[in-house]
Structure 1
């Protein structure tokens, strides 16, 4: 017969530095409590107790509210910013391609080598040799 065996509950101990780093991440706005919970595998109440204990801004008796919409709005704003930056990069690439094509045309049709350093003078006798 087996004796009644209770499942031992593993209790983790976190250092004060780790707790403060979690609170700092929350206060900086990088992560919400829910994101920190999923990222580190720590329960909500534990994170909130650390916030009340180590935060400069939150005191016990005040409730911390996180709006889910704010996280969604933040994500949408970041996606919009990425789209704008990708568009700007695309426009710059089109401009670069256009200018490179113009340089190639100038070199082929007009015998002007724009890619060379403009301030350097060609060798003295090279001009006379080409024209002869």
Structure 2
């Protein structure tokens, strides 16, 4: 005898605060509806309903249209930001290499060990250390 199995429908309920947060992210221009859909796993129909319900700009009966140019513009701006950050990281890497070379020169030519010597014993703070 087969058991009578039914599919269990899964519903997700979102708080009003969460819905308003999603709408504010959309209105601020940080994310598009498509990005919010992928980021939070919410269907775009629900997001559009929340926009019509909670948005101060978009009301029911007004169609929300996202221009492809705006998404490509955002993408170009983000790529430019990544490029500038990579340039900054490269400059910092050059500075690090320069300073490490200076430390090596100070050690070799002037016998000054700037880097911490790992073989040095830690003091317990109770005894006086002897000067060389």
Q: Residue 20 of structure 1: CA displacement?
A: 2.6
With the length of structure 2 as denominator, give the TM-score of the two structures.
Answer: 0.64
1:14-33 pair list within 5 angstroms:
14-17=13-16, 18-33=18-33
Equivalent in the alignment of 2:97? 97
Q: Residue 57 of structure 1: CA displacement?
A: 2.0
Structure 2 CA distance for aligned equivalents of residues 11 and 113 of structure 1: 65
User: 5+ unaligned residues in a row in structure 2: which ranges?
Assistant: 1-6, 117-128
RMSD: 3.1
Structure 2 CA distance for aligned equivalents of residues 13 and 109 of structure 1: 69
Structure 2 SS opposite 1:80 = helix
Q: Residue 67 of structure 1: CA displacement?
A: 1.2
Cα contact 2:33–2:44 (8 A) shared by 1: no
Q: Cα–Cα, structure 1 residues 15 and 109, in superposed 2: closer, same or farther, change >3 Å?
A: closer
Equivalent in the alignment of 1:78? 78
Q: Between Structure 1 and Structure 2, which shows a larger proportion of helix residues?
A: 1
CA shift digits 1:101-125 (9 cap, x unpaired): 1121122112234458xxxxxx996
CA shift digits 1:16-74 (9 cap, x unpaired): 52433332332232321223344534243x43232111112222343323111111111
Q: How many residues are paired up? A: 111
Q: Cα–Cα, structure 1 residues 88 and 13, in superposed 2: closer, same or farther, change >3 Å?
A: closer
Structure 1 CA distance for aligned equivalents of residues 12 and 103 of structure 2: 66
User: 5+ unaligned residues in a row in structure 1: which ranges?
Assistant: 1-7, 117-122, 127-132
Q: For the pair shown, which has the larger CA radius of gyration, 1 or 2?
A: 1
